Amino acid sequence: MAHSSSQPRTIASRGPLNGTVAVPGDKSISHRSLMLSALAIGESRVDGLLEGEDVLATAAAMRAMGADIVREDSGTWRIHGVGVGGLLQPAGALDMGNSGTSTRLLMGLVASHPITATFVGDASLSARPMGRVIEPLAAMGASFSDTPGGRLPLMVRGIAPAVPIRYTLPVASAQVKSAILLAGLNTPGVTEVIEPIATRDHSERMLRGFGADLTVEDMPEGKRIAIRGQAELRPQAITVPGDPSSAAFWLVAGSVVPGSDITITNVGMNPTRTGIITALRMMGADITEIAPRTVGGEPVADLRVRHASLTAIEVPPELTPSMIDEYPVLFVAAAFATGTTVARGAHELRVKESDRIATMAAALNACGVTTREFEDGLAVDGSGGDPLPGGATIATRLDHRIAMSMTVAALHARAAITLDDAAPVGTSYPIFFATLDRLMGTDA
C-alpha cells in the first residue's frame, strides 16, 4: 500500500469555485461498516463506501481473515460475515498502508480471537505509536511483539476468552475506545470504557445497529460505554454519509476564495464530527444547512458555503475531539482571517500521519504566513483576506490532509504552490483534484 513514487503537483489560483459536489463516503463509518459486516452472520450491503486506499486496506484485511467481500459494478459492497469469534488466521501480514484507523481497530478485533496477525504499513504509518492501544488490549490478555516505541511492524497474538476490563481513556481517542469495544465483542462479560472527553461515536451507533448489547450513560467521571460480549450481530443495509473531513476542504475553500459558492451534498452531521463547522462559523463563515435528515441512524444535511470575511478566534479546546482531523485546513482558514488565530489543546496532531503542527507551520511559513508553534497547537497570523504570497514547494510528509489543505491555500495565493507529493490524497479522497478542476470550471 505504500506509494512507490512521488507525484509532485502545482496548484495556481484560478478564481472562484462554484457548483455542487458530493464528497466521498465518511472514512470512519466506512471502516466500521466493513468490520462489523464481516462479524455479522449473513449478508450485509454497504452503499456509498469510501473507496480510498485506507478503507480498501480494511477490506483486504477482513478478506484475509475469512470474510467474503465483493464490490458490485453498481458500487454496492456485499459482505458475508464469519460471525463474532469466527475470524480466521490470516495467511500473511496485513498491509495497512497509511491507515492508522485500520490498524488500531483491527488490533482490537484480533485481540479477542485465538489468532495471530502481523500488521505492516508505509513509512508514515510505521512511525506512528500504537502504545495507547496496546496497553488496554494487553490488559485483556492479548500479547504483542512490536518495533521499539510501540510501532509497526507489529504482531498481535489474540486470546479467547479475553478478559473484560474497565478502562478510562487517558487521552480523548475514538480509535482507542473503538479498539477496546471491538475486542469486547468477543469477550465474555461486560467490557467498559470511561470517556472523560467525548469523541466521535460512530462505533457505538453502528454496534447498536448491528445488534450488540451496548449502553452509554453519563457519569461524574465522563461517559461510560459498556458492551456485553459474545453477541450475535445481525447483517445490515448501510448507506454511508459524506465525510465531513472531506467536506471541510470545500468549506474552507468556499470561505476564503472570493466569489465562491459551493453546495456539498449529503454531509454527515454527527455532532461529534462538526467542530470544524462550529469553528468556521465563529470566524464568520457563511455556511447554511439545507434539508437536514437522518440516514442509517446518522444525521446528514447539504451544506452551502459562500465567500465571507473571516475573523481570527481562539479555538475552544473542547472542540478538539470533534475536529481533530480538520485542524490542518482550519490553519489555512486562519491564514486568511483578520487577526491572529490561536488553537491549543490538540496534542494528538503530533502523532497523526505526520506531525501536523510542525508540518503545517513549515508549510504556511514557506508561503509567507507567520506562525508560532506550541507543543499542543499553533498561532496563525492572518492576511485579512488578501492572497498569500505562495510560491513555495511544500513537504507533505506522506500526509493526505497536508496535501489537500495546502491545495486550498494555493487557491488564493499570488504565486503557485507545489506539493512535493500529491499521491497520499488517494488514501481518503481519490477524486479530490478532479473535483477541484470541476468546481473551477477547468475540467477536461
- Convert the pLDDT of each residue in 62-79 to its tens digit: 999 999 999 999 999 999
The reply, when asked if residue 325 is annotated as ligand binding, is yes
Residues in CB range of 188: below 8 A, 6 or more apart: 161, 164, 229, 230
The reply, when asked if residue 213 is annotated as ligand binding, is no
Instruction: Check residue 6 and give its pLDDT.
Output: 87
Task: Give the confidence band of 444 by pLDDT, cuts at 50, 70, 90.
Answer: very low
Question: Which residue has 467490557 as its cell numbers?
Answer: 191
The reply, when asked if residue 28 is annotated as ligand binding, is yes
The reply, when asked if residue 352 is annotated as ligand binding, is yes
State yes or no: pLDDT of 1 exceeds 90.
no
Residue 303 CA from chain centroid, whole number: 19
DSSP state of 171: S
Instruction: Check residue 4 and give its pLDDT.
Output: 52
- Convert the pLDDT of each residue in 140-199 to its tens digit: 999 999 899 899 999 999 999 999 999 999 988 999 999 999 999 999 999 999 999 989
**Whether residue 161 has a cis bond before it, omega within 30° of 0:** yes
Instruction: Check residue 172 and give its pLDDT.
Output: 86
- Convert the pLDDT of each residue in 371-388 to its tens digit: 999 999 999 999 999 999
Type of residue numbered 164: P
State yes or no: pLDDT of 3 exceeds 60.
no
- pTM comes to 0.85
Q: 84 near 231, Cβ under 8 Å?
A: yes
Read off the pLDDT of each residue in 281-298 and give the average, rounded to a whole number. Answer: 93
The reply, when asked if residue 173 is annotated as ligand binding, is yes
Task: Give the confidence band of 17 by pLDDT, cuts at 50, 70, 90.
Answer: very high
Among candidate residues 201, 325, 399, 421, the one labeled active-site is 325
Percent of the chain past pLDDT 90, that is, above it, reads 92
Instruction: Check residue 443 and give its pLDDT.
Output: 63
Instruction: Check residue 353 and give its pLDDT.
Output: 86
Residues in CB range of 117: below 8 A, 6 or more apart: 65, 89, 90, 93, 94, 106, 110, 155, 156, 158
Q: What secondary structure does DSSP assign to 230-245, as a single string?
A: SPPPPP-EEEPPBPHH
The reply, when asked if residue 309 is annotated as ligand binding, is no
- For the chain, the average pLDDT equals 95
Residue 253 three-state SS:
helix
The reply, when asked if residue 175 is annotated as ligand binding, is yes
Cα distance between residue 376 and residue 348, in whole Å: 8
Domains for the chain: give ranges and CATH numbers: 9-25+241-439 (3.65.10.10), 27-238 (3.65.10.10)
The reply, when asked if residue 44 is annotated as ligand binding, is no
443 noted as active-site residue: no
How many Cα atoms within 13 Å fall on the side-chain side of residue 310?
Answer: 36
Cα distance between residue 260 and residue 128, in whole Å: 37
Instruction: Check residue 49 and give its pLDDT.
Output: 96
Task: Give the confidence band of 99 by pLDDT, cuts at 50, 70, 90.
Answer: very high
Nearest to 353 by CA among 101, 60, 1: 101
Phi, psi of 202 (to 5 degrees): -60, -40
- Convert the pLDDT of each residue in 296-324 to its tens digit: 778 999 999 999 999 999 999 999 989 99
Read off the pLDDT of each residue in 398-409 and give the average, rounded to a whole number. Answer: 97
| Alpha-carbon separation of residue 315 from 179, 251, 269 (angstroms) | 29, 17, 20
